[in-house]
Amino acid sequence: MSEVVVIGSSFAGLTGALEAKRKLGPGHTVTLISRTADFVYIPSLIWVPFGWREVKDISIPVKPILDKHGVDFLKAEVSRVNPETNTVSTSEGEVAYDYLLVASGVSTRFDLIEGLGPEENTYSVCTPGHAEKAREGWKKLVEDPGPVVVGATQGASCMGAGYEFLFNLEYAARKAGVRDRVDITWITPEPYLAHFGIDGMTGGEAMLKGFMKKFNIKYVTNSEVERITETDVVLKDGRKLPYKYSMIIPPFNGARFVKDSGDLGDEKGFIPINDTYRHKKYANIFAAGLAVAVPLPFTTPVAMGMPKTGFPSEESAKIASHNIVKLLQGEPESSLKAKPWGKIPGLCVLDAGHKEVVILSNHMLKPRQFAVMIPNPLVNIAKRALEKYFLWKTRRGLSYLM
Ligand SMILES: Cc1cc2nc3c(=O)[nH]c(=O)nc-3n(C[C@H](O)[C@H](O)[C@H](O)COP(=O)(O)OP(=O)(O)OC[C@H]3O[C@@H](n4cnc5c(N)ncnc54)[C@H](O)[C@@H]3O)c2cc1C
């Protein structure tokens, strides 16, 4: 009997653990370690500040799901992975593994810019707590309207969530009857609108330029934030953007424990993997989801990171768990699946505040044989339908579904 250990209980970790157990059956133990007891459907956090979702509506306790499917759950904080002894150090003690899947996501780096983040001057929607705090600020803005700055810093990778928040805020301000007193500016490290950190898609820039014009939103591309004071977002080119409310996506690094685990991760704490999601140095360690290192195949004037959305996070976890199972079953290396992150299909819905854009491509990164952005200017139903489907499948532990 072998021990498979998975770190993380979100898109990648939950999928990886359930898939490994489903394929391995009772002969091997699969243990999921996570510091959070709930799976939270993060894509819906953009609605929390406007009161359109409560965190509890999009949270599911993972233990009952794991119990039902024969996966052990350890709620614990991981402090270190020790590849030389094949153990994970946690707040609940040492856990030994034969195979390890690291799906521990990212840590937010608000500290890189003076005045950035919910502990300082700007809001965030990266975690449930951040999104709830952003709601307090939103309520104050509605009572006492003024200028708003929304965006992402240099080095950020989660541009899609920033755009969604921007257009939802614009719509919420209209609904609240304060839009005429809320001047909105979007700041982005992207060289052009809708670059998204994936070198854009045909028609995307024109579409988002049209949205900005129609909804009277100013924007600054190639922007770099110098610091954020209590009243202004100060850009490196000297521009000062006054604000009363600001939500700015920070850069991400890998989970903090990765940095404390020797050469497990790169300088930013992401896990170096090959196309089978296997660690480049440690043959019994795999990684999936946000945790993996994905070098960008292009450069931009202002630094950006690779966006890692939910679909590829799950897909990479399925590939990694498939490969762990094959190795445990004594199959040859040639039976391992390989698919680089950039070749996973792109599948995403951008909620744009009572309108939406469905993004589909056969590969996340170029070259692509097809890539389309389908706007629906009348209503936003696709993201809500996707949320319902996702929560339904997660509650049932149907990790093999798309
Ligand atoms: C605001 C926002 C909106 C988004 N919207 C979309 C969208 O519309 N569509 C889309 O496809 N994607 C979206 N994304 C991206 C999507 O959320 C990610 O792709 C997804 O969360 C990645 O899952 P993951 O499992 O790799 O990592 P994460 O979701 O970051 O999960 C990491 C897991 O590891 C655990 N963990 C971390 N450190 C430790 C530790 N030290 N000890 C124990 N456990 C630990 C955490 O508790 C968590 O369970 C959005 C992201 C954000 C922030």
Summarised one tens digit per residue, pLDDT across range 305-351 is 989 999 999 999 999 999 999 999 999 999 999 999 999 999 999 99
- Are 3-108+252-340 and 110-251 equal in CATH topology? yes
- Is the C-beta atom of 251 inside 6 A of ligand 1? no
- Cα-to-centroid distance, 313 and ligand 1 (Å): 9
Taking phi over 0 as left and psi of -120 to 50 as alpha, with beta for the rest, 177 belongs to left
Higher per-residue confidence, 134 vs 295? 134
Task: Please indicate whether residue 158 is annotated as part of the active site.
Answer: yes
Q: Which of 155, 158, 161 is nearest to 268 (CA)?
A: 155
Sheet holding 87-90, edge to edge: 78-82, 87-90, 93-96
Report which protein residue has its CA nearest ligand 1's atom 44. Answer: 34
Q: Which of 184, 193, 348, 350 is catalytic?
A: 348
| pLDDT of 268 above 90 | yes
For domain 3-108+252-340, the CATH class is alpha beta
Q: Which of 100, 106, 158, 304 is catalytic?
A: 158
Q: How do strand 184-187 and strand 217-220 relate by DSSP bridges?
A: parallel
Each residue's pLDDT tens digit, 213-241: 999 999 999 999 999 999 999 999 999 99
- The ranges assigned to domains in the chain are 3-108+252-340, 110-251
Q: What is the pLDDT of residue 18?
A: 98
- Cα-to-centroid distance, 42 and ligand 1 (Å): 7
End-to-end CA distance of the chain: 30
Task: Please indicate whether residue 126 is annotated as part of the active site.
Answer: no
Task: Provide the angle, in degrees to the nearest 10, between the axes of the packed helices 128-143 and 159-175.
Answer: 30
Q: What is the pLDDT of residue 35?
A: 98
Closest atom of ligand 1 to 351 CA is 8
What mean pLDDT comes out for the span 3-27?
98
Q: What is the pLDDT of residue 293?
A: 97
- Is the C-beta atom of 42 inside 6 A of ligand 1? yes
Report which protein residue has its CA nearest ligand 1's atom 7. Answer: 43
| pLDDT of 114 above 90 | yes
- Is the C-beta atom of 168 inside 6 A of ligand 1? no
Average predicted confidence (pLDDT) for the chain: 97
- Cα-to-centroid distance, 315 and ligand 1 (Å): 14
- Cα-to-centroid distance, 210 and ligand 1 (Å): 31
| pLDDT of 285 above 90 | yes
Out of 309, 318, 384, 391, mutate this one to test ligand 1's pocket (max ligand atoms within 8 Å of CB): namely 309
| pLDDT of 379 above 90 | no
Q: What percent of the chain has pLDDT over 90?
A: 97
- Is the C-beta atom of 250 inside 6 A of ligand 1? no
| pLDDT of 28 above 90 | yes
- Is the C-beta atom of 46 inside 6 A of ligand 1? yes
- Cα-to-centroid distance, 308 and ligand 1 (Å): 9
- Is the C-beta atom of 309 inside 6 A of ligand 1? yes
Report which protein residue has its CA nearest ligand 1's atom 33. Answer: 8
Q: CA-to-CA distance for 184 and 220, rounded, in angstroms?
A: 11
What mean pLDDT comes out for the span 96-105?
98
- Is the C-beta atom of 6 inside 6 A of ligand 1? no
Please list, in sequence order, all residues whose beta carbon lies within 8 angstroms of the beta carbon of residue 148, skipping any fewer than 6 positions away. Answer: 141, 169, 173, 182, 183, 184, 185, 243, 244, 245, 246
- Is the C-beta atom of 371 inside 6 A of ligand 1? no
- Cα-to-centroid distance, 174 and ligand 1 (Å): 30
Q: CA-to-CA distance for 307 and 159, rounded, in angstroms?
A: 7
Please list, in sequence order, all residues whose beta carbon lies within 8 angstroms of the beta carbon of residue 186, skipping any fewer than 6 positions away. Answer: 150, 151, 162, 163, 166, 212, 217, 218, 219, 220
| Ramachandran angles phi, psi of 13, nearest 5° | -65, -45
Report which protein residue has its CA nearest ligand 1's atom 48. Answer: 8
| pLDDT of 136 above 90 | yes
Q: What percent of the chain has pLDDT over 70?
A: 100
Q: In this structure, which topology does domain 110-251 adopt according to CATH?
A: FAD/NAD(P)-binding domain (3.50.50)
pTM for this prediction: 0.97
- Cα-to-centroid distance, 231 and ligand 1 (Å): 31
